[in-house]
Structure 1
Amino acid sequence: MAAYTGTGQKGGKEMERTGMGKLVMQMAVTIALLGGICAWNLHRADERVAAMLEQGGVQLPVIMYHSILKDEARAGPYVLSPAALEADLDYLQHNGYETVTISELVDFVDGKGDLPAKPVLITFDDGFYNNYLYAYPLLAERDMQAVVSVIGEQTALYTESGQENAYWSYLSAGRLVEMQESGVFEIGNHSYDLHDDSVRKGCLKKRSESVEEYRQMLTDDTHLSQTYLAESGLTPPQCYAYPYGAYSDETEDILQEMGFRCTLTCEERINIISPGDPDSLFLLGRYNRPSGMSTTTFFEKALPGEGS
């Protein structure tokens, strides 16, 4: 019989504790290293931001709205009340922010114009009729501007039907012309018929498509929307708002080749745009404005320096 060595249950537990201790120590070291790397990366990012601002770059917050309805029962992530929108607009003006247009941003990056000290870009996605009913007068009363990015097929449908309902209809071409000519709204492109996630996610490529097929699809859809809007008496949009915020390197290449000067995502971040840097207008981040949040709380995260 082998001699008893004393490494029974008690010894096994001791070894287990020792092993766990080493593991905990290794995890602590790893976390500390990761924390240091993250802090270093944040520091480097802050340095890059500071350098861009010193070279004439401007911080540009972009606010994203969708549907505006009085019915509080409809309130949600993409439906806001007119009263909340009014409070937002008053907050921006009270805190010294001035709205800018896509055209002004393009002129700025092209070195042809200046921006206000505290610019903000206000955007409305989808082109709901209630934007005309509620947002348009609130903006006009305050001499503020915004861009509404429309789904071409919906605009065509409601131009033909003539139906106008705050709950479910979209802006007709006639309403868009009125809004554009007022100087309050610019028109953006939100695809012609790609605001759907049942077949593909917005304008992303399907797995079954070849690159050539995909490029042709996106080019055709975008051209159809641009042509329809131009033939309706509207200035062809310079800005494309990605449906669902879904984009890829391919989408960016195609839209830039088609002459777009700006693209809008749904990623929440504050942008820095720079004179002489047209690329700084692509893949702009935006903060979605949901209901159920006070104006102050929302802008603490959406405006530079407001939450500090």
Structure 2
Amino acid sequence: MGVRDAAKICGDRIGLLDAVHRLKNRQTLTVVMFHRVLPAARLAGADPAYTVSTELFGQCLAFFRRHYVVVDVDAVMAAQGGGGVLPGRSLLITFDDGWDDNLEYAAPILAAEAMSAVTFASSDAIFDERPYWWQEVLLAAMRDQRASVTQLWNAVEGDGAPPPADCAALDLLVRYGAVAPGCRHQALLPWIDQESPRHMLTPGRLRDLVAAGMQVGSHGAAHLPLTMMAEPLEDLERSWRALEGSLAGAFRPAMSFPHGRYSPALISAAFSAGFKVLFTSDGVLNLLNAGRPAAVLGRVEIAAQHIADNHGRLQRHRLATWLFLRQRRHLGRLRSLSNLQESDVHE
């Protein structure tokens, strides 16, 4: 098959998918989730599951402009509160964690497209003076196979018990999160890259992000699974105080659940803490009720492995399939969907 024939088939496929999208998703809000945006020269070492190139990010924005009405989190909160309605096929762009590259690379690309996004920031990481984020150091050591689970488990002082047989990344995060920052630093010292630029935004850079046209909400304080914390409400309230105090009124009362873990009790706790709109990691499209979204919303992770070719270039038909054919849900009417699998969210 020649290049022209392949391009024609791809174009025909996009046209059919778009027709389905315009009919099927006319009363939906799609929320997309990014984490990091880096130029190709800096991709090495970054988690490929949570990082897209600047080129791919720009191509995604062009796709969003063509197939959606891109809105900001203020419009979503206003519509949810009865102060307006969202247009059909709305799309909101979100970022998790608060990486410094959100300001350095993502914000200028968004500004060039006259678009905005909301960053859900983990406040402890933002206010930590150390240039590295301890969670990235820990997970990178596992990801790059520079340390085994057992090595990392035993690097921090504990009760001497071995790691669980099915020990996962979240178990390690909780174990390290329970120790004092100084002890954590000493435990991770063998795997810290002293030459690495700062991972996360600082409070000043967070304010610069707002000045660049982006909004900021909360991703919790400790960035640990709230379902595995003894005092999750305290974590949410601490994050609110830190971010609102730093942003001088620019903080948005919206949050995303760290690691996508939540429960009905945590939803109630988040509302009691003052948050108005809650974002999950459930990969569904959000049904609108006469233009109004629910207060609990699903999001679709955008990862290069699902939408790009082997050279990192966007495959438009793959992104269309990834987004357009998902189940439509109203999470405000459902119990927790935290264990929803990708195979369950495509119709």
TM-score (norm 1): 0.68
State which of 74, 80, 91 in structure 2 corresponds to 1:109: 80
Unaligned runs of 5+ in 1: 1-48, 197-201, 207-213
Shift of 1:274: 2.6
Once superposed, which parts of structure 1, at least 4 consecutive aligned residues long, lie more than 6 Å away?
A: 160-163
Answer yes or no: is 1:243 the counterpart of 2:258: yes
Aligned to 1:176: 206
Q: Deviations over 1:141-182 (max 9, x none)?
A: 111011100110011114x8699x986511112222222234
Aligned to 1:222: 236
Contact kept, 8 Å, 2:131 with 2:197, in 1: the verdict is no
Contact kept, 8 Å, 1:60 with 1:273, in 2: the verdict is yes
Contact kept, 8 Å, 2:28 with 2:88, in 1: the verdict is no
Aligned to 2:215: 186
**Local SS of the residue matching 2:226:** coil
Aligned to 2:50: 78
Shift of 1:275: 5.0
Aligned to 1:209: none
TM alignment of 1:201-212, pairs within 5 A: 202-205=225-228
Judging changes above 3 Å, is the alpha-carbon distance between structure 1 residues 167 and 60 closer, same or farther for their aligned structure 2 residues?
farther
TM-score (norm 2): 0.61
Contact kept, 8 Å, 2:103 with 2:208, in 1: the verdict is no
Shift of 1:260: 1.1
Contact kept, 8 Å, 2:131 with 2:199, in 1: the verdict is no
Contact kept, 8 Å, 1:240 with 1:262, in 2: the verdict is yes
- Structure 1 or 2, whichever has the larger Rg, is 1
Judging changes above 3 Å, is the alpha-carbon distance between structure 1 residues 141 and 276 closer, same or farther for their aligned structure 2 residues?
closer
Contact kept, 8 Å, 1:61 with 1:303, in 2: the verdict is no
1:299 partner amino acid: A
TM alignment of 1:288-307, pairs within 5 A: 288-292=301-305, 293-294=307-308, 295=314, 296=316, 297-303=318-324
**Local SS of the residue matching 1:179:** helix
Distance 1:128 1:166 in 2: 13
Distance 1:103 1:72 in 2: 32
State which of 48, 59, 63 in structure 1 corresponds to 2:28: 59
**Local SS of the residue matching 1:192:** coil
TM alignment of 1:1-308, pairs within 5 A: 58-70=27-39, 71-73=42-44, 74=46, 76-95=48-67, 97-158=68-129, 168-182=198-212, 184-193=213-222, 195-196=223-224, 202-205=225-228, 214=230, 217-234=231-248, 235-274=250-289, 280-282=294-296, 284-292=297-305, 293-294=307-308, 295=314, 296=316, 297-303=318-324
Shift of 1:121: 0.7
Distance 1:146 1:171 in 2: 16
Shift of 1:87: 0.5
Distance 1:86 1:277 in 2: 29
2:206 partner amino acid: L
Judging changes above 3 Å, is the alpha-carbon distance between structure 1 residues 166 and 226 closer, same or farther for their aligned structure 2 residues?
farther
Judging changes above 3 Å, is the alpha-carbon distance between structure 1 residues 301 and 167 closer, same or farther for their aligned structure 2 residues?
farther
Distance 1:233 1:75 in 2: 29
RMSD between aligned alpha carbons? 2.9
Unaligned runs of 5+ in 2: 1-22, 134-194, 309-313, 327-345
Distance 2:108 2:33 in 1: 18
Contact kept, 8 Å, 1:245 with 1:266, in 2: the verdict is yes
Distance 1:88 1:128 in 2: 19
Q: Deviations over 1:46-88 (max 9, x none)?
A: xxx99xx9xxx93011111011122343461111111110100
Distance 1:302 1:230 in 2: 33
Shift of 1:281: 2.3
Judging changes above 3 Å, is the alpha-carbon distance between structure 1 residues 204 and 90 closer, same or farther for their aligned structure 2 residues?
same
Aligned to 1:35: none
Judging changes above 3 Å, is the alpha-carbon distance between structure 1 residues 58 and 168 closer, same or farther for their aligned structure 2 residues?
farther
Judging changes above 3 Å, is the alpha-carbon distance between structure 1 residues 276 and 79 closer, same or farther for their aligned structure 2 residues?
closer
